[in-house]
Amino acid sequence: MTARPERIQDVSQAAGEERPLPKHVAFIMDGNGRWAKSRGLARTEGHRRGLEALRGVVRHAGKIGVEVVTFFSFSSENWRRPQQEVSFLMTLLRRFMQRDLSELHEANVRIRIIGEREDLEPGIRSLLEEAESLTKDNTGLTLVVAFNYGSRDEIVRAARKLSLKVAAGELTADQITEDAVSEALDTSGLPDPDLLIRTSGEIRLSNFLLWQSAYTEFHFSPLNWPDFDETAFDRAIADYCGRDRRFGGLSAKVV
Ligand code: FPP
């Protein structure tokens, strides 16, 4: 792993202990609309600036040695938004997958997409699949884009996959373990998030990574997503580094 930036090291040393950086950080990028409204701009401008913030966070994550970042880009409930906003979000995804792909590939970034693909327009679906396939052997940062994603939907799809295997005689009911469920989810093979950051002061999970965040630490930032920069990211990581993760056991300080 690359050397940690001094600011983060300082925080963990001040707490008297070296705590590892989070391997996997997940983001709920909330507040794009409010950011735009407070400036008299269209909501779509908030999303456009939100994509710029995402780029900055990806760069910073790679620099400080985070291994996986996951962004909640479009939820399975976001189809309920006005048609014009939905199609702008599709355009942003298309732009991101077309314009940023070669730069991400050169930076050794591996792209993974989670969410239901069936409902997506075939053109978008193939862009997502091309990005995954082009970058699949990259060994640097893993960038997970949650698109048309809903955690309950993901769990239902996993349950169906497992039940089909049972019906086909490939799996017994006893073999449905926590590991088997994890492997049947879209996030199969990825570590669970250590830290989940939600911006804009909202304090809820909104159907994001419900299974995967069983032991995740949460950080709620008051900033709207377009204002979430490197300093805010460092602050969230420093907050995480000061937490005592027990995973249902006892604190290392107590034992
Ligand atoms: C929530 O803010 C944000 C979204 C629904 C979209 C997030 C998308 C991006 C930041 C850019 C797209 C990224 C990719 C990779 C295509 P909100 O609109 O609900 O904000 P509000 O609560 O203030 O209205």
Q: Could you report the average pLDDT of every consecutive run of 10 residues in the chain (255 residues)?
A: 44 54 98 98 98 98 98 97 97 95 98 95 96 98 98 98 98 98 98 98 98 98 98 97 82 58
User: Does residue 99 form part of some domain?
Assistant: yes
R_g over Cα of the chain: 19
Long-range contacts formed by 8-17: CB under 8 A, 24+ apart:
8/64, 8/234, 8/237, 8/238, 8/241, 11/238, 11/241, 11/242, 12/238, 12/241, 12/242, 15/241, 15/242
CA 207 – CA 200 distance, rounded (Å) = 17
Count the domains in the chain.
Answer: 1
User: Does residue 116 form part of some domain?
Assistant: yes
User: Does residue 181 form part of some domain?
Assistant: no
For the domain that residue 124 is a member of, what is the CATH number? Answer: 3.40.1180.10
Ligand 1 probe mutation, 29, 54, 206, most atoms within 8 A of CB:
29
10 CA distance to ligand 1 centroid (A)? Answer: 33
Question: How confident is the model at residue 254, as a pLDDT?
Answer: 54
User: Does residue 247 form part of some domain?
Assistant: no
User: Does residue 169 form part of some domain?
Assistant: no
User: Does residue 200 form part of some domain?
Assistant: yes
Question: How confident is the model at residue 253, as a pLDDT?
Answer: 57
Residues paired with residue 147 on neighbouring β-strands, in sequence order: 74
Question: How confident is the model at residue 246, as a pLDDT?
Answer: 76
User: Does residue 224 form part of some domain?
Assistant: yes
Which residue, 222, 220, 198, 194, is CA-closest to 208? 198
User: Does residue 105 form part of some domain?
Assistant: yes
Ligand 1 in reach of 186 Cβ (< 6 A): no
Angle between helices 83-99 and 43-64 in degrees, nearest 10: 30
- List the domain range (segments joined by +) for residue 37: 19-150+192-241
The H or E element containing residue 218 is: strand 217-220
Ligand 1 in reach of 50 Cβ (< 6 A): yes
Ligand 1 in reach of 73 Cβ (< 6 A): yes
Q: Coil, helix or strand for 111? A: strand
Q: Are 188 and 155 in contact (CB under 8 A)?
A: no
In this structure, what token pair is assigned to residue 123?
């053109």
Give the amino acid at 214.
A
- Residue 206: count of CB within 10 angstroms of its CB: 14
Question: How confident is the model at residue 18, as a pLDDT?
Answer: 56
Q: Coil, helix or strand for 24? A: strand
Q: Are 215 and 157 in contact (CB under 8 A)?
A: no
